[in-house]
Amino acid sequence: MNNIANVFNPPKEDLDTLINLYKNGRLQDVLDKSEQMVLKYSYSLFLYNLRGSANALLKRFDSAVECYKNAIRVKPNYAAIYNNLGNIFKETGELELAINNYKQAIKIKPNYSEAYFGLGLVLEEKEEFLSAIKNYENALIHKPNYPEVFFNLGNVYRKSGDHKLAIKNYKNATTLKKNYYKAYCNLGNSKKDLGDVKSARFYYKKALKINPNDFETMWNMHGVSLSIDEAIKWLSECLKAEKSCLKAELMLSALKYLKNDKSDFNRLRKTNLKKHPFMRSFSWLFQLENTPKLFFDKFNLFDYIIQNSISDRPFYEFGVWKGVSFEYILKSIKKGFGFDTFTGLPENWYNEKVGTYSNNGIIPKMKGGKFIEGIFKDSLPKYFSKKRPLASIINFDADLYSSTICALNFSKKVMDKDTILIFDELIIHESWEQDEFKALNEFCSTNHCSYEVIAISFFTKQVAVKLIGI
């Protein structure tokens, strides 16, 4: 009887030793000391699980999987091990295997919150947002005080463009976990997405109070700066915290260039980084005859453009999605026309798939706003076949070259020298020269006109222009 028991149960003093080593981060010592033990106690779930966890933390994923499979051999209905396997496969990018193992864990243990959470994470990564939300909500049913779930619910809602629900969930996360600086940072992001720069700054500073070395929050802080000098300060702090933050280094070189310190930018331009989309964008900007007004947030850019537009004219927007930008402009210019499929991108764009930015066919409802549904090549010829009022502002958020050039060609009928055009994705991203930028320049070439860049937002990639000779 004792021999049988020993197969399953290592001596308590050995277990305690392993546990202490594990808790102290001495993972290799755990593996070394347990190597012979697991041969003797070949039915020890504890040893297989511990060795699997140690290997996983050491990024030895194949060994971890082997340990966990040995545990399942001993106990086929061991839900925790299937959950651990799900975590491994999520880490290695084998998403379908991760999904299968999380589902098996849930099948064995239907109230397994951690497995629902893991499954939600994988589905979020696959951009299956509705399914991700369902699994996060299932996790909360069985474990209501789960801050990480609220945080990731916030992330999914933000990715889906539902910033109000994102904010609600981030706040729930910070209520449960007072020092949750990542949640405070993302609260700031969602507030910024809605145009509430003051609140964004508040939450970013709250995150930095908890974690003063969080370089991503410092990067975000520069995006709500009120001056070039303030942005330079935050980017400098960002690089102190993380020297390898390339985006901060490149952006800092551009801002210093605008302050007449050209040394860093010129140095970087002599390296392979001259091909980086940031550097290509800055090089285009710096060769302009006149330096445009610089902003760090699109809503501040919107305010400037609105102030300099003819306010008794309506505005037009091509690419509405959830209508955040549309609603913001509508507060000042009381009439607007929006065009969108409301089912997402009609073709792949950059690293975004067909259907991205879908509003599930739901058309926003806003007083003063009228929305025209459909693919541009189908909806615009019909709409612009009738005389339409001249535009104060036209906001192009179509992303794709094909959609943007189509929108430009048809909206020409509502343009004149006073119309201001805003392009939401003109610069910074990898393929910018082939997208809205290409469409604008092709349009000007075809119509024998030119443009003056009057405002630009580096952080949010907007560029505002006035046409000359239209």
117 and 15 in a common domain: yes
In a domain, 191, yes or no: no
103 and 220 in a common domain: no
In a domain, 282, yes or no: no
Give the neighbor-by-neighbor strand order of the sheet with 336-340. 293-295, 450-457, 462-468, 420-423, 393-396, 315-318, 336-340, 369-373
299 and 255 in a common domain: no
Residue 125: which residues within 8 A CB-CB, separation 6 or more?
90, 95
**Of the residues 156, 179, 202, the one at which a domain ends:** 179
pLDDT of residue 3: 41
In a domain, 237, yes or no: yes
pLDDT of residue 7: 59
In a domain, 204, yes or no: no
pLDDT of residue 71: 93
Give the CATH number for residue 247. Answer: 1.25.40
234 and 159 in a common domain: no
260 and 128 in a common domain: no
Domain interval for residue 392: 293-468
Residue pLDDT, tens place only, 158-203 = 999 999 999 999 999 999 999 999 999 999 999 999 999 999 999 9
Give the CATH number for residue 17. Answer: 1.25.40.10
Q: Please state the domain count of the chain.
A: 3
pLDDT of residue 2: 37
272 and 298 in a common domain: no
pLDDT of residue 356: 82
In a domain, 72, yes or no: yes
Instruction: State the number of CA atoms in the 13 A half-sphere of 212 facing the CB.
Output: 1
Closest CA to 139 of 316, 423, 311, 147: 147
- pLDDT < 70 positions in the chain: 1-7
CB 343 within 8 A of CB 358: yes
In a domain, 190, yes or no: no
pLDDT of residue 151: 98
220 and 322 in a common domain: no
CB 191 within 8 A of CB 164: no
In a domain, 408, yes or no: yes
Among the residues of 273-336, which ranges form H helices? 277-286, 298-307, 324-330
298 and 265 in a common domain: no
For tokens 């939401």, name the residue: 424
Give the CATH number for residue 442. Answer: 3.40.50.150
pLDDT of residue 9: 73
258 and 135 in a common domain: no
* Spatial separation of the C-alpha atoms in residues 405 and 342, rounded to whole Å: 19
372 and 303 in a common domain: yes
* Spatial separation of the C-alpha atoms in residues 215 and 218, rounded to whole Å: 5
In a domain, 65, yes or no: yes
